[in-house]
Structure 1
Amino acid sequence: MIVKLIVRGMLVGLLAGLFAAVFAYTAGEPRIDRAIALEEAAAAASPAGAHSHEAAQPAHSHDEDEAPVSRNGQRLGLFLALGLYGVAVGGLFALVYAAVRGRVGPRSEPVLAVTLAAAAFLAIVLVPFLKYPANPPAVGDPETIDQRTVLYLTAVVVGILAVGAGTAAYRYASRSEPWLRWLAGGASLLVPVAAAWILLPEIDEVPPGFPADLLWDFRIASLGTQAVFWLGVGALFAFAARRRSPV
């Protein structure tokens, strides 16, 4: 049974990943193209960049200056990457679903699937995004990428622990009044998130003059891509759970 559940989760994740890729291609790629154009224009306008380019020009051809992967290749890779990401995450989602089914959360399997997907979006996407939102090309110092990666993963861990703490507190107060259960769960969720927000260092590497509308449009598109993915996972898994044969 568990193998079938994992396979079902992988298929659901694949479909959700492709849905998210369509959204990212439609909403995110135009912003990436605009950010790349700004980055290239800034590099061309830089005296140091122009000098180095002229000095290096005799040593190699124009074709060698081009990116290893073309923009069309990157767009195709977007669908491949999100599809593979969906397969992996869908399999993990199925394992977590099997572990909590009948133990934590709603009794209804479709409702449990949607609730679990919403909790995953909150823990893995929304909490880290609030502290460290995504940035388009031309934003970010390459020398700090390791630091930024560690901080982002730390925010993800905080999000997972916060959701776990909120769930545990809600269950612990299960015999209390509904408002007290929600208060206990909400406080247990928000306290570690607020502490992480205060204690984790800020990262602000947006260059002066970078268009604010482009920055936030890209960030909203990035968040929307993840929202589409987890909405797809929850809805498709709920549909699969509803049609699943009894065991």
Structure 2
Amino acid sequence: MVQRLLLAGMLSGLIVALFAFSYARVYAEPNIERAIALEEGGDHHHEEAEQGTVSRDTQRNAGLLTGLVAYCAALGGLLAIGLAFLHGRLSVRPRSAVWTLTVAGYVSLVLVPQLKYPANPPGVGSAETIGTRTEMYFIMLLASAISMAVSLWISHRMARRAGAAPSIAAGLAVFTALASLLMTMMPAISETPYDFPRALLFEFRFHAALLQLVVWGGLGVLFGQAAEYMEQSGLRVEGTARRGIPNA
């Protein structure tokens, strides 16, 4: 069962990666090109900077697709492992369990970290502080994931005594409090040049956020449906076996 779920999750990730690549190629990449042109002072200087490195044509095509395939397949595999762990522990359908995992994962691993440290286009941020900024982002990501795990555990424990609605409300309240505390405690990093176009910065962050929604939402839809189908198929096979009817 776990192997089938893992295969379904990774295949769902591969399909979602194609949609995410199409979205990124059409909407996100033009903003990156504009930001690079500003950073390098024009197309001529940008072409000179590309010599001896991976070309932008490779980055925005094969490189982008490869990265998204790896990212989406890995997420699909993690969702499959999470669903296998929850199987039999929660009295919900597989589709609902998958959506619970995707929403919790998106909020804790994407939304909260990016609210504190939003994605930046080329030309924003100093190369000298990239190590510090990366470290702060991953600390925020890890702390947010731990906060979500604690909130889900509290909600699960309360559900046995107080019921579904109060336990969900308590879990949301705990995570909101912990996330707010994290965002207050973590140091702010703002290195946007004063002359950087605000419209370009907004468009880049907007499309970066929507790209993540495409990935996580697509996985919730595809893998949730696949897991539901596998559950129903397993029940039909089990029912057939109990009736003594040979499996054709």
Q: TM-score range by the shorter chain?
A: 0.7 to 0.9
Please list every run of 5 or more consecutive structure 1 residues that lacks an aligned counterpart in the other structure. Answer: 45-49, 51-61
Q: Distance between the aligned counterparts of 1:228 and 1:65, measured in 2? A: 30
Contact 1:14–1:87 (8 Å) recurs in 2: yes
CA RMSD across the alignment: 2.2
Question: How do residues 63-82 of structure 1 correspond to structure 2 at under 5 angstroms?
Answer: 66=51, 68-76=53-61, 77-82=63-68
Q: Distance between the aligned counterparts of 2:49 and 2:126, measured in 1? A: 24
Residue number in structure 2 paired with 1:21: 21
- 1:63 deviates by 6.2
Does 2:131 align with 1:143?
Answer: no
Residue number in structure 2 paired with 1:126: 111
Which is further off, 133-142 or 184-193? 184-193
- 1:181 deviates by 2.5
- 1:178 deviates by 5.5
The percent of aligned pairs where both chains have the same amino acid is: 37
Structure 1 pair 148/188, CA: closer, same or farther in 2 (3 Å)? same
AA partner of residue 180 (structure 1): P
Which is further off, 177-186 or 111-120? 177-186
Residue number in structure 1 paired with 2:186: 200
**Once the two structures are superposed, what CA deviation does each residue of 1:116-143 show, in whole Å capped at 9, x if it has no partner?**
1111111110010110000000001111
Does 2:157 align with 1:172?
Answer: yes
Q: Which has the higher contact order (CA 8 A, sep 6+)?
A: 1
Residue number in structure 1 paired with 2:81: 95
Question: How do residues 50-69 of structure 1 correspond to structure 2 at under 5 angstroms?
Answer: 66=51, 68-69=53-54
- 1:193 deviates by 0.7
TM-score, reference length from structure 1:
0.86
Residue number in structure 2 paired with 1:9: 9
Contact 1:32–1:137 (8 Å) recurs in 2: yes
Contact 1:162–1:190 (8 Å) recurs in 2: no
- 1:214 deviates by 0.6
Q: Distance between the aligned counterparts of 1:103 and 1:151, measured in 2? A: 35
Residue number in structure 1 paired with 2:170: 184
SS in structure 2 opposite 1:120? Answer: helix
Instruction: Tell me the matched-pair count.
Output: 230
AA partner of residue 158 (structure 1): A
Please list every run of 5 or more consecutive structure 2 residues that lacks an aligned counterpart in the other structure. Answer: 236-248
Q: Distance between the aligned counterparts of 1:4 and 1:183, measured in 2? A: 34
Structure 1 pair 179/241, CA: closer, same or farther in 2 (3 Å)? closer
Q: Distance between the aligned counterparts of 2:137 and 2:32, measured in 1? A: 21
Q: Distance between the aligned counterparts of 1:127 and 1:215, measured in 2? A: 19
Structure 1 pair 242/64, CA: closer, same or farther in 2 (3 Å)? closer
- Of the three residues 94, 97, 121, the one matched with 1:109 is 94
Q: Distance between the aligned counterparts of 2:171 and 2:226, measured in 1? A: 29
- 1:25 deviates by 1.3
Q: Which runs of 4+ in 1 moved over 4 A?
A: 62-65
TM-score, reference length from structure 2:
0.86
Contact 1:113–1:238 (8 Å) recurs in 2: yes
Residue number in structure 2 paired with 1:152: 137
Q: Distance between the aligned counterparts of 2:192 and 2:164, measured in 1? A: 44
Residue number in structure 2 paired with 1:220: 206
Q: Distance between the aligned counterparts of 1:109 and 1:210, measured in 2? A: 46
